[in-house]
Amino acid sequence: MTVLGVGVDIVDIERFTRALERTPALRRRLFGPVDTQPQDLAAQDLAAQDLAGQSLAARFAAKEATLKALGGNISGFSWHDIQVTGERGQQPKLVLSGGVAKHAALSGVTSTHLSMSHDGGMAIAFVVVDGEPRS
């Protein structure tokens, strides 16, 4: 197995959260049902709201990092084609579908690896894709 691509992205959490608040449709456009699992987004108090903002910013960074790892030139993709799953405290996983999954398969990608973190008002994601290169 060969590393086929690496992608990284960083997102300003406060700026991203404000964008979601200003444009409610943005959340629906960027995140699918796997991304917005209730345990992450059931924000009843301020601490939970902060965590939800951090979580969504990190998940968006993961989507951007995935596109970069796959070469960054995927036509006809939807943000819902890249979703992040995993319970809090567990290794996050990428779920690819649609145009992104097709592009990954045609590129020889057989597995993805994702790491996300947030600190100091920033969320970061790092993605590695590996498989067998296609000529």
Q: What is the CATH number of the domain that holds 91?
A: 3.90.470.20
Looking at residues 51-59, what average pLDDT do you find? 87
What residues are paired with 82 via a beta bridge? 96
Percentages of the chain per state (helix, strand, coil), in multiples of 5: 40, 30, 30
What residues are paired with 2 via a beta bridge? 131
For 131: left if phi > 0, alpha if psi spans -120 to 50, otherwise beta; the answer is left
**pLDDT tens-digit series, residues 1-41:** 899 999 999 999 999 999 999 998 998 899 988 876 544 44
pLDDT at 134: 82
pLDDT at 36: 65
Question: Can you give the residue range of the structural domain that contains 32?
Answer: 2-131
Regarding predicted confidence, which is higher, 88 or 130? 130
Count of structural domains, the chain: 1
Alpha-helix runs per DSSP H in the chain:
13-22, 24-30, 38-41, 46-69, 98-106
**pLDDT tens-digit series, residues 58-98:** 999 999 999 999 998 888 889 999 999 987 778 899 999 99
Q: Which residues contact 12 (CB under 8 A, 6 or more apart)?
A: 57, 121, 122
